[in-house]
Amino acid sequence: VGIDDDIFYLDRLKHIYHTPDERSAIRVMCRRVLTSLNLSDPPISLRPICKRFNLKVVYNNKAKKEDSQLKLVSNGFEIEISRLKNWRRNRFTIAHELAHLIILRSVGTPEGKLSKEQYQRVETLCDIGASELLISEDVLKAQLLIHGLGSEGIKQLYDKFMVSYDALLLKLSEILNCNIMVWRKYARHENEQKEFRVFKHFPKYRYAEKLTWLPNGCTAKHIVPTPFELYSSKNNVLVMRDFKILINDKMVSCGAISFPLPSSRTLNNNLPIFDDLEVMDEAIYDDSHILLVFSDISKLEQVTHDYLKIQ
């Protein structure tokens, strides 16, 4: 048995694309696809990429929760997407499946059944690929310079790239070097009080700064100060240079920026149009607040200087 036989098929990616790891490799691969199709200005239409990789998107009206599976059909691939799901989120799903096909074309499929960890590795890689297809880092930075961070700025980015908040916030956490939490007033079960809690977190725990990580459901008891009612009428972005996170009897000093997310727009209310569709907002993010946490205070100063010029 040669050593090569032990190499997982994804390990070949970094050798083929001369990158330090598979994460950078998938980024290179996706950028090449975009370049070859002359796709550079967001929002990126996925139609030409689907065409290139023979992926047919079939829409249904099923309300089922689980995500669709890539199917092999006679002249390529097919994926079923529910019309009832938010289109921005569907776009990410399609981009994710495209990343599977981009990997497939490059290194084929794995031999044998994947372990749970290997499966997770492929899935994470396809999420990175999807994000790369939809959001160009350079364009995102340029757009941030124009619109700035904050409620208005994030809405501009949301429409510029036509992505879900999940996709946008993940990318922002990467380029701004911070953990991003979404806070919302909710209760996890009926015996629990409805109050501000961590609703989502970007990036995933595995890639996040662990010291400033708060799991979903954590209340505002774990942070000082609580910014969600402190915005002034003049400015709804709060920069906190003396921010503290308390968890497991430990207190971590860090910096943070907070702002509310704008409420979702309703039909006939200036909804953006893309690919012949009136694109809906994600209502699950209504009354949410964004909290960017910087364990390195110099990164906070940098972001404040670059993207929050009024501070």
Interface residues toward Zn ion, by CB under 5 A? 123, 126
Q: One-letter amino acid identity for 100?
A: H
Distance between CA atoms of residues 178 and 172, nearest Å: 8
In whole angstroms, how close is the CB of 70 to Zn ion at the nearest point?
7
C-alpha distances in angstroms, 281 versus 86, 155, 271, 272?
A: 8, 10, 8, 9
In whole angstroms, how close is the CB of 96 to Zn ion at the nearest point?
5
In whole angstroms, how close is the CB of 38 to Zn ion at the nearest point?
27
Q: Which is nearer to Zn ion, 166 or 281 (CB)?
A: 166
Q: Which is nearer to Zn ion, 126 or 218 (CB)?
A: 126
Judge whether 310 and 257 are in contact, CB under 8 Å.
no
Q: Which are the contacts of 13, defined by CB distance < 8 A and separation ≥ 6?
A: 19, 22, 25, 26, 29, 103, 106, 107
Q: Which is nearer to Zn ion, 119 or 205 (CB)?
A: 119
- Residue 179's closest CA among 260, 259, 310, 296? 296
In whole angstroms, how close is the CB of 93 to Zn ion at the nearest point?
9
Distance between CA atoms of residues 227 and 214, nearest Å: 16
Q: Which is nearer to Zn ion, 54 or 120 (CB)?
A: 120
In whole angstroms, how close is the CB of 100 to Zn ion at the nearest point?
6
Q: Which is nearer to Zn ion, 126 or 245 (CB)?
A: 126
Residue 247 in tokens: 């968890």
In whole angstroms, how close is the CB of 27 to Zn ion at the nearest point?
17
The DSSP code sequence of 199-261 is: EEEES-GGGS-GGG---TT-BGGGEES-GGG---SS---EEEEEEEEEETTEEEEEEEEEEEP
In whole angstroms, how close is the CB of 118 to Zn ion at the nearest point?
13
Q: One-letter amino acid identity for 194?
A: K
Any idea which residue has 């961070």 for tokens? 149
Q: Which helix (H) or strand (E) holds 180?
A: strand 179-186
Q: Which is nearer to Zn ion, 114 or 280 (CB)?
A: 114
Residue 161 in tokens: 């790239």
Q: Which is nearer to Zn ion, 70 or 220 (CB)?
A: 70
In whole angstroms, how close is the CB of 79 to Zn ion at the nearest point?
10
Q: Give ∠ CA 236-239-244 in degrees, rounded to 5.
A: 125
Distance between CA atoms of residues 253 and 308, nearest Å: 22
Q: Which is nearer to Zn ion, 167 or 198 (CB)?
A: 167
